[in-house]
Chain A
Amino acid sequence: SAGLAWTKRNISWRVKTYPRGARLSRETMRVLMYYALRVWGEAAPLTFHEVGGHSADISVEFLRQEHGDGSPFDGPGGMVAHAFFPGDPQRAGNVHFDSEEDWTFRAPDDDGMDLFAVAVHEFGHSLGLTHSPSKRSIMRPYYQGPVGDPLQYQLLADDRLDIQRLYGSRALHSTERPEVSTLLPALSALPRDFPALRSADHPDRCSSSIDAVTQIRGETFFFKGPYFWRLTQGRHLTSLRPALIAGFWRGLPSHLDKVDAVYERPTDYRILFFSGPLYWVFKDNSVEEGYPRPVTDFGLPRTGVDGAFSWPHDQKTYFFKDGLHWRYDEAAGHMDKGFPTHDTPWGPMPSPVDDVLSGNNGEVYAFKGRQYWKFDQHSLKPEGSYPRSIAKDWLDCTEEPYPPSSAPTSPMTGARPQPDVRAPLPEAEHCVCYSTSTC
């Protein structure tokens, strides 16, 4: 080993950038990263959880040529990836893949670079392992082709011993799986879309208001009735069709009509669902024991909430109901004094709001009806070119929801909405390619 290891055992990760024009979808790449980390988590007592934002311990990027770390890539072949050791003061946890390689998965040996095999190797470096002269080691510096099914792959004895020298061993019972938390679908389900839908009774994303919106592991989820739409970290809709909430988050009642609010708890990355007088706590896709519980646990009214979100700026959770808002201290486990109040830090905010969302940079979005407002992260004031259409900016709807002449004025500022060239332009990812023959 490089002699240095993470002092923590709970390690966050994220894929920060993806290659352009890759034959693998972003979702496939993320799933492969998840499984590559799981390989190490099976051998050592390490816990990996995927996060959004900018503060992941292990940050995966696809970069090309000179990219500012003193180790430029060289196009296809040659140097394909590198990662920095935990003891590197500036670059620890950075994992770089050459975006000019032809990254593949389940492709023949001589057809591109198997992303899973390379990722397992690079994560080994991220955890403190150096290159191994052993011909069978995953830490051998030379690319040796695919290593087989990520679901079945296990470290060889030498690699297992090497990682255990740094972190100790994980004693797993036969039915246990290591903890590598994520919201990714199972690998075997990847080529298919998200949960199958019944006929055409799902809501139309281009004409619906939303019940709730949240950001989980850096991805954005819009909820409407019993369904949700999912957007990747780059704000790409993963499917034009919504998926069933109860089909994805196992443990919510199958007859659930709607959710009022959802947020990811920053202290432990649990996901909280609020619907009427009840709330549920999820660890990834599975409900925790003992839920649902009444929302009065939080000191909230028994009628529930309109919206909730966690603000990274102050690490507090804000709840909204009928024009009032509460501020909850997650670390202390109680509401802050002086709440509820009508005066939010972000003002003026539409009332009552459908839900509120925080972006990666601390900016805040308020959603009401089919429109949303963006609040600047510094001034906390609504930006001038809002409200804008939720459907158009977030849910990949191309039609103009309002003719320019009849554009509504803002209930807060009186200004007519103007086109905003800075707004995201969502693209839909409709297919997943596994090899050139099936792409």
Chain B
Amino acid sequence: VPTPADESGELVDWLMQYGYLPPTDPVTGQLQTWEAVTSAILTMQQFAGIAETGILDDATLALIQMPRCSLPDILPSRPAKLSTGQHEKRQQRKSRGRR
């Protein structure tokens, strides 16, 4: 799996810090895939309202060097509450006997 170039490490850290990339798995040490990084850059560019190039261009570089609030832009999604119908289906599945 292609990994980000070393010089982009700072970018990856920034994207993780502000919620555009999930944190790396501390157990496996799995690096972010380049596809994921590119996708995150696109999301970040869209959020910031700059040209969506998917690469670390001048405008994106300028943006990540700007002073900012340290809270993430994309909050980790919380488990959605199940609707009544979904809940009933799960209960039915649980109560079915094994073959």
Q: Do they bind each other?
A: yes
Q: Which residues of A contact B (CB under 8 A)?
A: 2-3, 71, 73, 77-83, 101, 113, 118, 121-122, 125, 130-131, 133, 135, 141-143
Contacting residues, chain B, for A142 (C-beta < 8 A): 48, 63, 66-68
Q: Is B91 on the interface with A (CB-CB < 8 A)?
A: no
Binding site for A on B (CB under 8 A): 18, 46-49, 63, 65-73, 75, 78
Partner of A80, one of B46, B47, B49, B67: B67
Total number of A-B contacts with CB less than 8 angstroms? 57
> Max chain B CB contacts within 10 Å: which of A101, A125, A130?
A130
A71 to B48, CA, bound (A): 22
Contact A83 B71 (CB under 8 A): yes
Closest B residue to A84 by beta carbon equals: B71
Q: Given that A133-B48, A142-B48 are known contacts, is A2 also in contact with B18, CB under 8 Å in the complex? A: no
Among A80, A118, A122, A141, contact of B73 (Cβ-Cβ < 8 Å): A141
Q: How distant is the Cα of A2 from the Cα of B74 in the complex, in angstroms?
A: 10
CA distance A208 to B25 in the complex (A): 67
A3 to B72, CA, bound (A): 15
User: CA–CA, A78 to B67, complex, Å?
Assistant: 4
Are A131 and B73 interface neighbours, CB within 8 A? yes
Give B66's nearest chain A residue, CB to CB.
Answer: A142
Within the complex, the shortest CB–CB distance from A242 to chain B, in Å, comes to 41
Known: A2-B75, A130-B75. A141 touches B49 (CB 8 A): no
Asked if B48 contacts A79 (CB within 8 A), the reply is: no
Determine whether the beta carbon of B46 is less than 8 Å from that of A131.
no
> 10 interchain pairs (CB within 8 A)?
A2-B75, A79-B67, A79-B69, A80-B67, A80-B70, A83-B71, A130-B73, A131-B47, A131-B73, A143-B68
Report Cα–Cα, A79/B65, bound state, in Å.
Answer: 10
Once the chains bind, are A73 and B70 in contact (CB under 8 Å)? yes
Residues from chain A with a CB closer than 8 A to the CB of B73 are 130-131, 133, 141
Contact present for B67 and A135 (CB under 8 Å)? no
Q: Are A79 and B66 in contact (CB under 8 A)?
A: no
Flag if A125 contacts B70 (CB, 8 Å). no
